[in-house]
Structure 1
């Protein structure tokens, strides 16, 4: 027992927090500060409420770097704020796009258990990472989850966004029972400024495959264009650099 206790004493978080009973947010750091900070803090509070946790009081340090990933982790025992470089893989996906596979997630949009925390950004990310590993084992970079009814839901760490004609769309989070995507919502709010019509609607995999362009949207990647879906190559879109610029990201980061 002594050796076990000594190991636990070196863990940076309380052992009970390792069970994933908490929430988090990841923000993109820019020279102007954490991007969309108010929106992320509001979602953190909503996530905490879903887990019956009090609203967190977050005070960011005043010496944040001009770029990087800011992560806020909130559990029943700790509130931790850390900064790390943006992984090279994230920058590569923003620049080169991603190969995606679609798969049934086993989740129904019509039948969620009353204790579901799907709308919270919880620390329970083992399934999310497992989904990406499964995609990698099958020659892809990421996965697009489908409901048991055949509707597109989300990627393990991103929202699904697509363009058909002049309509820029994402999945409605309330109807689909998924996490509301901050980057996707902000992109749609800016869509009219570049002549696109924003919309939220449910979509099947066949309809998604027929879209002009598909992206995975998240805080660090911004937009990662889907360059192939289920093995079918897709033509790169001139809208990708334009929308990345609209969001304040660089498409040429290496």
Structure 2
């Protein structure tokens, strides 16, 4: 059976308006005209619509049609941010936390603050318009917009998430890969944007390709000075006896919304939960290791760099029953 078509909503007014300034009051010739000097010829995603009372500040668009112009900085430079929230059987999982992280990423890039009330409404509207599915993935994207325009572009795309039941059942294999930065790079070099969920994901995807080239399913990044960080698209969590541990988020890694939910679940199960630095050899000695993300749930790791790792089947099942209820 073919997958249901995704739903795409373009945000007409994606960010809060900046304070008026002399430079912003007078539009440039380019801002007054569309492509090739044609007034009003911008694609739908680049215009800021005037909304009659009671109409939403977003509109539905064809998910298979072109969306952004060729000079959009998100496309040409990776200059933008995104976040992805999961809906399980129509119920949002930590949506507000994803929205706050989305805004934090935008702030790290110096983008205007997203209008979170509008983004939240658009996400819920897109999910409601989608064909029901066990797990839906809502991806929020905000770019800096066209070169020289200072007009961010944003949209929400909702699609059925892939089924991760095989990973939950069989576990995954990972390799450790050097990220090339010290663990404290977010403090020493904040302009490297570690901890922001940017559109510049080429390195993350290259790591996944390298992992598969080595015969593994996924990767775990390690800092240049030898500390465990995160996966290319997931947080790392391990169990040590009666405690759940994850690498400290002040080490230039993304603050994981699913990882925080795992900590909440740990408390429900009577387990302690800690942030601290983790060495790669601790993964091998752990009582369980997982890669966790919103639509994936908790994927148990069964081997690291070709060496077997303990799989905690009862805790894996308990985590996924709560992370992805009813799936």
State the TM-score, normalized to the length of structure 2. 0.70
Q: Distance in 1 between matches of 2:183 and 2:90?
A: 38
Residue 102, structure 1, aligned to residue 176, structure 2? yes
Contact 2:219 2:232 in 1 (8 A): yes
Contact 1:34 1:70 in 2 (8 A): no
| Structure 1 residue 229: Cα displacement | 0.8
Contact 2:265 2:319 in 1 (8 A): no
Residue 30, structure 1, aligned to residue 106, structure 2? no
Partner of 2:221: 145
Contact 1:68 1:86 in 2 (8 A): yes
Residue 74, structure 1, aligned to residue 142, structure 2? yes
Partner of 2:240: 164
Question: SS at the partner of 1:106?
Answer: coil
1:204 to 279, 286, 292: 279
1:218 to 290, 293, 312: 293
Residue 14, structure 1, aligned to residue 61, structure 2? no
Name stretches of at least 5 consecutive residues in structure 2 with no aligned partner: 1-35, 37-42, 44-64, 145-151
| Structure 1 residue 32: Cα displacement | 4.8
Paired residues, number: 242
Partner of 1:229: 304
| Structure 1 residue 163: Cα displacement | 0.1
| Worse-matched range after superposition: 65-74 or 123-132 | 65-74
2:257 to 173, 182, 193: 182
| Worse-matched range after superposition: 218-227 or 102-111 | 102-111
Name stretches of at least 5 consecutive residues in structure 1 with no aligned partner: none
Q: Distance in 2 between matches of 1:248 and 1:138?
A: 30
| Structure 1 residue 71: Cα displacement | 0.8
Partner of 2:101: 43
| Structure 1 residue 93: Cα displacement | 2.3
Contact 2:183 2:252 in 1 (8 A): yes
Q: Greater Rg, structure 1 or structure 2?
A: 2
Question: For the aligned residues, what is the CA RMSD?
Answer: 1.9
Encode CA deviations 1:167-191: one digit per residue, 9 max, x unaligned: 10111111x1111011001211231
Distance 1:143 1:129, change over 3 A: same
| Structure 1 residue 110: Cα displacement | 3.1
| Structure 1 residue 241: Cα displacement | 0.3
Contact 2:287 2:311 in 1 (8 A): no
Contact 2:243 2:271 in 1 (8 A): yes
Contact 1:222 1:249 in 2 (8 A): no
Q: Distance in 1 between matches of 2:86 and 2:203?
A: 24
Question: SS at the partner of 1:103?
Answer: strand
Encode CA deviations 1:68-114: one digit per residue, 9 max, x unaligned: 111111112311111111124x4432332210001211111234424
Contact 2:286 2:310 in 1 (8 A): no
Question: SS at the partner of 1:121?
Answer: coil
Encode CA deviations 1:27-78: one digit per residue, 9 max, x unaligned: 1112353210110000000000001111112132432545311111111231
Which portions of structure 1, spanning 4 or more consecutive aligned residues, are displaced by more than 6 angstroms? Answer: none
| Worse-matched range after superposition: 10-19 or 148-157 | 10-19
